[in-house]
């Protein structure tokens, strides 16, 4: 009886080999799955971080009429975007301790922020797939419109009260009681005011008057 019980409760060599084989197969499938999951998580984090940086860049441009010189510029990092735990907020998911990259062409109002990606090789903004492009014209025009609306309302009240215009914007601005915050448009260029037509003009994104992107109010 003891012999039969002992034999029934044990494993034969073939059974052990089968178990080991199955476990090896399972382990072999779990490692790639874990690796794929890790890569997917890195991609998700990189996309979220790039979106956060883009949003912060738009806010910076709205306030300053330009982009910061670098991601870790003291006027940007820690002001418009928080460093995060261990100052890792701007660290590329695959670049060790390196920051995400900035790419700016001759157009000062277009900025691309990108990641080097899983291969860790910086192939440039045009070749990398993980990237976000920020159009400074959007927040710049938004700020320009907001300032023009305020100026137009104050100007109407000023003229209805018997005020006169000189055509020199800084002088008229002061006479209307507006602060220097309304001297420039959303791209950092002074407005111009035509005293006879009472037309207020922004030079627009190209910062040059008399071109097609002028914004007239």
Q: Which residue has the tokens 């990108």?
A: 114
Average pLDDT over residues 109-134: 88
Average pLDDT over residues 57-78: 92
Element containing residue 215 per DSSP (H, E): strand 215-216
Q: How far apart are CA 181 and CA 192, in angstroms?
A: 14
Indicate the domain borders of the chain. 13-135, 140-216
Higher pLDDT, 89 or 186: 186
Could you read off the pLDDT of 39-54 as tens digits, one per residue? 778 788 888 889 999 9
| 205 C-beta neighbours (distance < 10 Å), count | 24
Taking all residues of the chain, what is their mean pLDDT, rounded to a whole number? Answer: 84
Residue 10 has what pLDDT?
62
Task: Identify the CATH assignment for 13-135 out of 3.40.190, 2.40.50, 3.40.50, 3.30.700.
Answer: 3.30.700
Question: No. of H helices and E strands in the chain?
Answer: 4, 6
Q: Which pLDDT band holds residue 37 (cuts at 50, 70, 90)? A: confident
What share of the chain in percent tops pLDDT 90?
Answer: 50
DSSP sequence for 129-172: SSEEEEETHHHHHHHHHHHHHHHHHHHHHHHHTT----S-HHHH
Residue 5 has what pLDDT?
45
Q: What pTM was computed for the model?
A: 0.75
**CB 151, CB 183: distance < 8 Å:** no
Whose CA is closest to 47, among 105, 115, 137, 98? 115
Average the pLDDT over each of 13-27, 48-62, 156-170, 185-199 and give the range with the smallest value: 13-27
Helix (H, G, I), strand (E, B) or coil at 216: strand
Average pLDDT over residues 158-177: 94
- For residue 8, give both structure tokens: 């029934």
Q: Which pLDDT band holds residue 9 (cuts at 50, 70, 90)? A: low
Q: Which pLDDT band holds residue 17 (cuts at 50, 70, 90)? A: confident
Buried b or exposed e, range 21-40, using 16+ CB within 10 angstroms: eeeeeeeeeeeeeeeeeeee
């Amino acid at each position: 009886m003891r012999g039969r019980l002992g034999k029934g409760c044990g494993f034969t060599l073939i059974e052990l080999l089968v178990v080991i084989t199955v476990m090896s197969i399972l382990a072999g499938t779990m490692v790639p799955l874990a690796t794929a999951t890790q890569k997917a998580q890195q991609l998700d984090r990189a996309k979220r971080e790039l979106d956060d940086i883009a949003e912060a860049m738009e806010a910076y441009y709205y306030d300053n009429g330009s982009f910061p010189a670098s991601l870790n510029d003291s006027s940007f990092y820690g002001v418009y975007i928080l460093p995060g735990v261990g100052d890792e907020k701007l660290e590329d998911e695959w670049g060790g301790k390196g920051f995400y990259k900035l790419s700016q062409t001759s157009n000062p109002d277009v900025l691309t922020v990108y990641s080097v990606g899983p291969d860790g090789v910086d192939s440039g903004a045009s070749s990398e797939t993980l990237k976000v492009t920020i159009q400074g014209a959007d927040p710049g025009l938004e700020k320009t419109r907001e300032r023009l609306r305020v100026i137009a309302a104050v100007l109407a009240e000023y003229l209805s009260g018997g005020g006169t215009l000189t055509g020199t914007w800084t002088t008229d601005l002061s006479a209307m009681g507006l602060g220097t915050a309304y001297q420039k448009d959303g791209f950092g260029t002074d407005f111009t005011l035509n005293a006879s037509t009472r037309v207020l003009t922004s030079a627009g994104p190209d910062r040059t008057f008399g071109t097609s992107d002028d914004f007239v109010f």
